[in-house]
Chain A
């Protein structure tokens, strides 16, 4: 039974990703990405990490995709259509073919050469309470460093975005 769910989720994830890449409108691409990320949340549930799955949905699909949509809608000057792509030349097509073969060979080697036990390992369910305890005790320093990293990134990002606008509204050439 889990295999059916896994296959279905994989189809969703990969299919949505392909749709996102091939869509003519950027907005459709973002929607495809959203479905792909929902599929990833499904994978988390299959792995027994429902808490992470819920936050995957609310952080990635609920916040990051929103950010992407907002940026597409407000920052692009044109109506959002992608400029027509050129067809890749002969060299490009050969290169893509070779890369595909190499990827297939590596994946096949990994699957066939690494010994895999027929039994799936026991799902070691971790209580959320224990995660909280270890976060506060063993990993507390990591948490503080994480906070500093987030703070620095956000302040830096906002400052950069702001400066871009300043240059443009000034009217001076860049």
Chain B
């Protein structure tokens, strides 16, 4: 409907009125990279946890203990990831 021409002003990315400066794809939010890693880790851990949850009723308490150890071990990398994400200067 209507003529469709390519127009440099129309086709420019939107930046609230000013002409766009600089390469758009730069390194924002690099400091949160540890969160992505922790997501992959906990994604896999969730797979194990759900099987444990399904089996919980059938398990004696003593056998839940090592599962808890498994979870507690993962607190260390989580804490480290949180610590690293707070420091913007090293990323």
Contact = CB atoms under 8 A, between A and B. Distances in A.
Contact of A130 (B43, B55, B64, B71): B55
A154 B23 CA distance: 32
Interface residues of B, number: 46
Contacts of A146: 70
A74 B91 CA distance: 11
Given A132-B51, A135-B48, A136-B67, A148 B41 contact: no
B3 interface: no
A165 interface: yes
A136 B44 contact: no
A63 interface: yes
B36 A135 contact: no
Interface string A126-170: 001111110111001101101110110011011001100110010
B9 interface: no
B25 A151 contact: no
B70 A143 contact: yes
Interface of B: 23, 25-28, 30, 33-34, 36-41, 43-48, 50-56, 58-59, 63-64, 66-67, 69-71, 73-74, 76-77, 80-81, 84, 89-91
Given A74-B28, A144-B66, A150-B73, 20 more contacts: A59-B40, A66-B36, A70-B33, A128-B50, A132-B51, A132-B55, A133-B55, A133-B59, A135-B48, A135-B51, A136-B67, A137-B59, A140-B63, A140-B67, A143-B66, A154-B37, A154-B80, A155-B76, A158-B80, A162-B91
Interface of A: 51, 55, 58-59, 62-64, 66-67, 70, 73-75, 79-80, 128-133, 135-137, 140-141, 143-144, 146-148, 150-151, 154-155, 157-158, 161-162, 165-166, 169
